Amino acid sequence: MGSATAEMAVALPSLALVLGAALWAVTAVAAQLECVDAARAGARAAARGEPLEAVRQAAGGAAPAGATVSVTRGPERSQVTVAASVRPGWVIGLPAIPVTASATSATEPGADTPSGTGAASPVEPQFRTPEE
């Protein structure tokens, strides 16, 4: 009867440790997915020619808290990289896990303006009237 108590005394802390590690892994994977989504959103915005500050805000809004966003826009490709450190909030003293995601998109013509505004020349709408 006493051996069952001793086995339980060893098993419960081990089970708590495994559960904590699993929760930490789920937290890291969730942050990685947030970084991927944020990088994609930023790359789409950069490729469309939106201002770089708007691109950073679009990516930063979808990124985990405290993430850094870097944007590179060239004549052919736009790249957005989102990096964050994930630390479980329920345990103090565990090291942070760095997560990073990067997305690249083809830059649309005229989106790589030197001013960084990404403003394309305005196009007048063309309307057709039905022929009778």
pLDDT, tens digit, 9 for 90 and up, residues 71-103: 998 888 999 999 999 887 777 777 888 999 999
> Which pLDDT does position 24 carry in this prediction?
85
Single-letter amino acid code for the residue at 84: A
Q: How confident is the model at residue 112 (pLDDT cuts 50, 70, 90)?
A: low
> Which pLDDT does position 104 carry in this prediction?
94
Q: What are phi and psi of 131, to 5 degrees?
A: -80, 135
pTM: 0.72
More confident residue, 124 or 82: 82
Tell me the average pLDDT across 29-58. 92
> Which pLDDT does position 17 carry in this prediction?
85
Whether residue 50 contacts residue 113, with contact meaning beta carbons closer than 8 Å, is answered with: no
Give the pair of three-digit tokens for residue 112.
């790589």
Q: How far apart are the first and last CA of the chain?
A: 98
> Which pLDDT does position 45 carry in this prediction?
92
Which of 47, 41, 32 shows the shortest CA–CA distance to 61? 41
